[in-house]
Amino acid sequence: MIAPSILSADFARLADEVAAVRGADWLHVDVMDAHFVPNLTIGLPVVEALRKVTDIPLDCHLMIDDPDTWAVRYAEAGVHNVTVHVEAAEDPVKIAKDLRAAGALAGLSVKPNTPLEPYVELLRHYDTLLVMSVEPGFGGQRFIPDVLEKVRAARRLVDSGELTVLVEIDGGINEETIERAAEAGVDCFVAGSAVYGAPDPAKTVAQLRRLAAGASGRS
């Protein structure tokens, strides 16, 4: 699965930029509040507007201080997958239950330096695991290869039946890094500048999918 990140899109032409990634599996939307991360992007009104102009399922990544209050509102707005950060959530189990009750998938994200092991039991309440392969906050950063050990650990837990999460990765994904991430066990790849910096974003989405499928070893 390929999820283009509109963080790298032209915000003045969002409807056109969304249309340019036809064939994408999800559309990744980074919500930042300038508190949890040192950047301010978009919020619920823009997400609601995006829902009106695309059939691509929205994948909202909430990099915000108070996901306990805000996460369910994105689910109620029709977002397909709502991801919160374990480092910010006060009651992540309740968040997951509220998101599912509102009709969304529940996602949990971990920063590059956050270990996976303390949160394995918590992940049983979630549908997706988002492994950050850059420090959250800004697009266009270089991929941190060390996080792939975390991906491999998650893949083993999924393959053994201990977890049922979809494994997603975000940060520095491009034609040079996607195969390594696929080999490690990623299911869904967030790509921003690699897609929106290309002459033909839709063609790049298809190419990234081919590279990931060829390297994955899984159907």
33 is catalytic: no
Tokens of 181: 């991430």
DSSP 48-95: HHHHHH--SPEEEEEE-S-HHHHHHHHHHTT-SEEEEETTT-S-HHHH
* Selection from 6, 13, 62, 57 nearest residue 37 by Cα: 62
CB 135 within 8 A of CB 111: yes
DSSP state for residue 141 in the 8-state scheme: P
d(CA 109, CA 112): 10
Backbone torsions φ then ψ of 20, nearest 5 degrees: -70, -15
Please tell me what DSSP assigns to residue 5: B
For 24, 62, 145, 218, the CA distances from 56, given in Å and listed in that order, are 7, 18, 29, 24
Strand partners, 60: 29, 82
Which of 30, 59, 127, 187 does the annotation list as catalytic? 30
Any catalytic annotation for residue 65? no
Q: Of the listed 33, 98, 127, 170, which one is catalytic?
A: 170
H helices, E strands: number in the chain: 9, 8
Instruction: Tell me which residues are annotated as active site.
Output: 30, 170
